[in-house]
Amino acid sequence: MRNRHLDKILVRLDDLDAVNLAHLVQRLAKERMLLEKLFDAIQEGILVVNEGGILEYSNAAAHRMIGLCEKETPECPLWKVAPELARCLPLKMSDKGPEATVIAREIELTYPESKYVRVYMVPFHLEKERRFAIILDDITDDAQATEARIESERTSSIFVLAAEVAHEIGNPLNSLNIHLQLLQRKLQGLAQADTLAPSVAICINEVQRLDGILKNFLEAIKPQPLALDDLNIFTLLEEVLALLSQELSQLGIQVSVEANPDMPPVLLDGNQVKQVLFNVLKNAMEAMDSGGTIRFYTRSDDEFLYVYIADEGKGIEPEDVGQLFRPFFTTKANGHGLGMMIVQRILRAHGGQVGIDSKPNIGTIVTLQFPLKARRMRRIEHKESL
Ligand code: ADP
Ligand code: MG
């Protein structure tokens, strides 16, 4: 990029009078400001490093991405201000590598916050000295989407296999159940009945319990297409609370619902979201042995609606938080361990996610994050325009 005003000054340096010089310097400053503003408006991070590895320039996005503070630049070694980045780049600047080599790689930065960044390093010359432009592109959202996709593919293939196994187990279980009941009937009136009947009764009970687990599991993994509609989460909550009201009052639990007067439009599958609310509320109730209050409130930003369900229950041990969404993970004697897995599946199908924030003996906050209708529409438009 040539600087016209600077060229003018350099060419006419000898015969410029003070007024003209001042004028040209002013225009030069203006041009510099324009370029600075332009570079700061770019959402990719841009850094310029010289051959000695010294950082000479960084735009606002780069400051944010690698957590630089103003006073650290310019003229600081890159390894000092951004060690994670420097470590990932072949920054032996003194090595004269192939002139036109552009390096591109994806790295994970943990400071100032965890993110995935695609880095391009482009060599160029300025006043005969070699420099490197380092361009940083934040791809955290893409990387997370890929991770979620891999995870959901992994779980869905496990589910297909599990569904087949469950189906296969169902038939012999059925036959066991029938024969055990026959046995029970034949035992009646026999001399050994007193000693054998309790064992047969236990077998029947256990077979029926297995059958229950199987049915619940098959129900939970049945794929359900989404039927989205403009719905209000508070209306769905009311319907779920009506179902649970008796149980809630028996347990001495109040539910405090904080209305949100500025609810943005969200597209929801009513039945599935009711299932989510039911599962989350049920877990909250089961965690609150000695009563208390469950708080329900919402918040939104430009992209998402956040629904919070906060209980005052026993909380979750830190080592269990990572397991919650696994099928069959339960800490309850009669739990099935499918509730949170279903919650996560439904939220993901809506393009959202579930968050857990818990402190043992204090309580748990479950966050349901739904994309706003406007965001969904933008995504659809974007996909169609590709
Ligand atoms: P289940 O309720 O059948 O055990 P879930 O999938 O619904 O299965 O929940 C899995 C586990 O997560 C529970 O057994 C419990 O340990 C934990 N859990 C979920 N929600 C809460 C909560 N609000 N408070 C405490 N523990 C919870
Ligand atoms: Mg549950």
pLDDT class for 384, splitting at 50, 70, 90?
low
| Closest listed ligand to the CA of 356 | 1
CATH of domain 143-221: 1.10.287
For residue 115 the two structure tokens come to 């993110």
The tens digit of pLDDT for each residue in 301-312 reads 888 999 999 999
Predicted local confidence at residue 73, as pLDDT: 59
| Closest listed ligand to the CA of 323 | 1
Q: Would you say 49 and 131 are in contact if contact means Cβ atoms under 8 Å apart? A: yes
Amino acid at 376: R
Least confident of 45-54, 83-92, 175-184, 234-243: 83-92
Q: 345: part of which helix (H) or strand (E)? A: helix 339-349
Least confident of 210-214, 289-293, 370-374: 210-214
Predicted local confidence at residue 98, as pLDDT: 47
Least confident of 18-27, 171-180, 224-233, 296-305: 18-27
278 CA to middle of ligand 1, Å?
Answer: 12
CA atoms within 13 A on the CB side of 92: 4
Atom 25 in ligand 1: residue holding the nearest Cα: 315
Amino acid at 78: L
* Beta-strand relationship, 292-300 and 253-257: parallel
User: In a mutational test of the pocket of ligand 1, which residue from 253, 338, 340 has the highest number of ligand atoms less than 8 Å from its CB?
Assistant: 340
256 CA to middle of ligand 1, Å?
Answer: 21
% the chain with pLDDT above 90: 37
DSSP letters for 249-268 = HHHTEEEEE---TTPPPBEE
pLDDT class for 142, splitting at 50, 70, 90?
confident
Angle at 330 (CA atoms; ends 165, 178), nearest 5 degrees: 45
Predicted local confidence at residue 85, as pLDDT: 87
Q: Would you say 39 and 59 are in contact if contact means Cβ atoms under 8 Å apart? A: yes
Domain at 228-385, CATH homologous superfamily: Histidine kinase-like ATPase, C-terminal domain (3.30.565.10)
Predicted local confidence at residue 11, as pLDDT: 75
% the chain with pLDDT above 70: 87
Least confident of 61-70, 175-184, 213-222, 296-305: 213-222
For residue 89, the tally of other CB atoms under 10 A from its CB is: 20
Distance CA 19, CA 5 (A): 15
- Calculate Rg over the CA atoms of the chain: 32
Q: Would you say 183 and 200 are in contact if contact means Cβ atoms under 8 Å apart? A: yes
> Is the pLDDT reported for residue 20 higher than 50?
yes
Asked if 4-140 and 143-221 have one fold, the answer is no
SS3 at position 27: helix
For residue 352 the two structure tokens come to 């959202």
CATH of domain 4-140: 3.30.450.20
Domain residue ranges of the chain, discontinuous segments joined by +: 4-140, 143-221, 228-385
Residue 151's nearest CA partner among 316, 348, 340 is 348
325 CA to middle of ligand 1, Å?
Answer: 9
The tens digit of pLDDT for each residue in 255-272 reads 999 988 888 989 999 999
* Torsion, Cα of 25, 29, 30, 31 (10° steps): 100
Residue 83's nearest CA partner among 45, 109, 64, 119 is 109
Residue 329 burial (C-beta neighbours within 10 Å; 0-12, 13-18, 19+): middle
Handedness of CA 27, 32, 37, 41 (dihedral sign): positive
The tens digit of pLDDT for each residue in 68-102 reads 876 655 678 888 888 888 887 776 544 555 455 67
Predicted local confidence at residue 94, as pLDDT: 47
Handedness of CA 32, 38, 43, 48 (dihedral sign): negative
321 CA to middle of ligand 1, Å?
Answer: 10
Predicted local confidence at residue 372, as pLDDT: 92
| Closest listed ligand to the CA of 312 | 1
Predicted local confidence at residue 332, as pLDDT: 94
Distance CA 257, CA 238 (A): 10
Instruction: List all residues whose CB is within 6 A of at least one atom of ligand 1.
Output: 279, 283-284, 287, 311, 313-316, 324, 329-332, 335-341, 364
Amino acid at 179: H
Identify the bridge partners of residue 130 per DSSP, sorted by sequence position.
Answer: 125
pLDDT class for 1, splitting at 50, 70, 90?
very low
122 CA to middle of ligand 1, Å?
Answer: 51
Distance CA 143, CA 349 (A): 18
Identify the bridge partners of residue 106 per DSSP, sorted by sequence position.
Answer: 118
Distance CA 300, CA 262 (A): 9
Residue carrying structure tokens 């880095």: 119
Mean pLDDT of the chain: 85
The stretch 354-371 carries a mean pLDDT of 94
User: In a mutational test of the pocket of ligand 1, which residue from 282, 330, 365 has the highest number of ligand atoms less than 8 Å from its CB?
Assistant: 330
Q: 131: part of which helix (H) or strand (E)? A: strand 129-138
266 CA to middle of ligand 2, Å?
Answer: 25
